[in-house]
Amino acid sequence: MKLPLRLSLVVVFLYALGYPIGALAVEAMSPGLVLIIRFTVSAPILLLLAAQRGVPWPRGAQLGHVVVVGVLIQAVQFIGCYEALSLGMSPVLVALIISMNPVVTAAFAKPMLGERLSRRRVLALILAVAAVLVAFAGRLGSAGSPGVGVVGVLVALIGLSLGGVYQQRYVRGVDPIMGTGIGLLASVPAAVVFALTQPLHVDRPTQAVWSMVAMIVFSSLLGMSFYLAALRRGGAGQVAMLFAVIPSVSAVLSWVLVGDRPDAGVLGGLVLGAVACLLGRSAPARTARPTVRACPAPRESVRRAMIER
């Protein structure tokens, strides 16, 4: 499987756009309320779109697998990130840890998918880590200490990585729009529980409205649908490599939307990340082949006896 370049660019742009939009939404209202609105509004829209296209609803074990993927990628990832932010963890450190997705995905892919990393793929992972560190180098000094919020973002990272590998392992032939809608719907109860642990408030109504509309359209409806489509086309390993370049693209978009001007490290991270993505795309992981023993040829006497019979 090779991830198409055009689909890769779409996923990178939409996923990177979600960071500044999410920051603006959380700035305007409580994180739990953001997730409740995002999940409850996006899920019916996607499910209606899938129904109008005549997409069949997954059944049995397949439905259960789709729910697991949705909860891991949607609920676990975003609740973990928002919990870390609410505990005072810097968004820079949150993005830095989440960008380690390629390494964690590779660790999950070996036992769950039986994949072995080629030398080129290992080089791509090293470049991916280097790209993230270079992109964030200029901002780590002002990021502060991780604190207890690091637990939440580590849980978010595991949810994102495990969800991608689980999708490749168990979910086959499910429409991305249908899968995203089911995943969002299944994540609503977790979002409600998360919201009840904190006070609900809206500080900036106007900003809350337009940021939520942008988040629902670009992140939930388009972003996650294309993300699942990319997992279906290229597999978890190749999609995870996109996180080598997503932080730098997000920094550029934050400059445009928020006015947070990036430093020179963003450009270096963008170049290294692009090289890592190209290496990861051209050198997919290899699946270990089972050892097959050749059966010894029957003796001549056995052959004659069989012929006589």
From CA 24, how far away is CA 210, in angstroms rounded? 10
Q: Taking the mean position of all CA atoms in its chain, how far away is CA 35?
A: 17
Instruction: Give the ranges where the chain is alpha helix by DSSP (H).
Output: 5-28, 31-52, 60-70, 77-86, 91-98, 101-113, 119-136, 149-170, 176-196, 205-214, 224-234, 236-240, 246-258, 264-282, 300-308
Token pair recorded at residue 129: 């880590």
What is the domain range of residue 275? 5-287
Residue 300 in any domain: the answer is no
Q: Does residue 308 sit within a domain?
A: no
pLDDT tens digits, residue range 89-128? 766 677 778 888 888 898 898 888 887 777 877 888 888 8
Cα 211 from Cα 196, distance rounded (Å): 22
292 part of a folded domain: no
Q: Which two tokens stand for residue 156?
A: 């978010």
Q: Do residues 281 and 8 make contact, with C-beta atoms less than 8 angstroms apart?
A: yes
- Measure Cα distances from 134 to 41, 87, 131, 253 in Å: 37, 26, 5, 18
The answer as to whether 307 is a domain residue is no
Packing angle, helices 205-214 and 31-52, rounded to 10? 40
- pTM here is 0.81
In whole numbers, what is the pLDDT of the chain averaged over residues? 82
> Confidence class of residue 141 from pLDDT cuts 50, 70 and 90?
low
More confident site: 178 or 133: 178
Q: Determine which of 134-138, 152-156, 242-246, 299-303 has the lowest per-residue pLDDT on average.
A: 299-303
Flag whether 295 is in a domain.
Answer: no
The pLDDT-based confidence of 300 (bands split at 50, 70, 90) is very low
State pLDDT tens for residues 236-276.
888 888 888 887 788 788 778 777 676 667 777 777 777 87
Question: Are 76 and 158 spatial neighbours (Cβ–Cβ below 8 Å)?
Answer: yes
Q: Answer whether residue 294 is part of any domain.
A: no
Contacts of 195 by beta carbon, 8 Å cutoff, 6+ apart: 30, 32, 33, 35, 36
CA distance 103 to 60: 32
Side-chain-facing half-sphere of 175: CA atoms under 13 Å: 17
User: Has residue 200 got a pLDDT over 60?
Assistant: yes
Helix, strand, or coil (residue 121): helix
Domain count, the chain: 1
Q: Say which amino acid occupies 308.
A: E
Q: How far apart are CA 227 and CA 218, in angstroms?
A: 12
